[in-house]
Copies of this chain bind each other. A is one copy, B any other.
Amino acid sequence: MPDSVYPDSAHPDIAPLAVFLGTWVGSGKGEYPTIPAFEYGEELAFNALAGKPFLVHTQKTKAREDGRPLHTETGYWRAAGRDEHGNLRVELVVSQPTGIVEVLEGTFDGNCARLRSTTVSRTATAKEVTAVEREYRRDGSELQVRIAMAAVGQPLTHHLSAVLRLS
């Protein structure tokens, strides 16, 4: 991966997202109607690259009980101007080794980014995921993450919540 830069070198388009910059670690809980509930450790990094109008998003989780790797994903955050309330419009694209890609759009109010998928696409062998909602909230020293999804025939349903701190 390219080297990351400090917030004061970030491209002005993404400067409002500087509250997310860094590597965050913590734990979360997963649930979904089709699977047993589970707990996980998470590492989520947001990196800015010198002069580039995007953030690099890199995430991995591991099982709480035995540390085995669970999910991982990579992607990019983009800013897309302001909405009628003055909130930053944000875009997030993500790919996952489960064979799924997500395109999400939403807004960032200075603390919280709320995004919803505009498309979720997948390879022939991937599980069916049709919609995703993601929320990333900076609350003091915490980053709170919440993800809901519509998958394998279920309607949009809460799936993951994690609380992270800067490592």
Report A's interface with B, CB cutoff 8 A: 1-2, 49-52, 54, 56, 58, 60, 68-69, 72, 74-76, 78, 80, 91, 93-97, 99-103, 105, 118-119, 121-126
Question: What is the count of identical protomers in the complex?
Answer: 2
Interface of A (DSSP majority class): strand
Give every chain B residue within 8 A of A80 (Cβ-Cβ): 123-125
Q: What CA separation (Å) do A124 and B123 show in the bound complex?
A: 22
Known contacts A80-B123, A122-B103, A97 near B54 by CB under 8 Å: yes
Whether B96 pairs with A76 at a CB distance below 8 angstroms is yes
Known contacts A58-B1, A69-B51, A97 near B78 by CB under 8 Å: yes
Give every chain B residue within 8 A of A52 (Cβ-Cβ): 69, 97
13 residue pairs of the A-B complex, CB under 8 angstroms, read: A1-B1, A1-B60, A2-B69, A74-B75, A76-B95, A76-B97, A78-B125, A80-B123, A91-B123, A93-B95, A95-B95, A101-B121, A118-B121
Known contacts A72-B2, A105-B124, A78 near B91 by CB under 8 Å: no
Q: What CA separation (Å) do A121 and B132 show in the bound complex?
A: 15
| Chain B residue with Cβ nearest A81 | B125
Name the contact of A103 in the complex, choosing from B60, B74, B76, B101 (C-beta under 8 A). Answer: B101
Q: What CA separation (Å) do A124 and B115 show in the bound complex?
A: 13
Name the contact of A60 in the complex, choosing from B2, B94, B96 (C-beta under 8 A). Answer: B2
Name the contact of A99 in the complex, choosing from B68, B72, B91 (C-beta under 8 A). Answer: B91
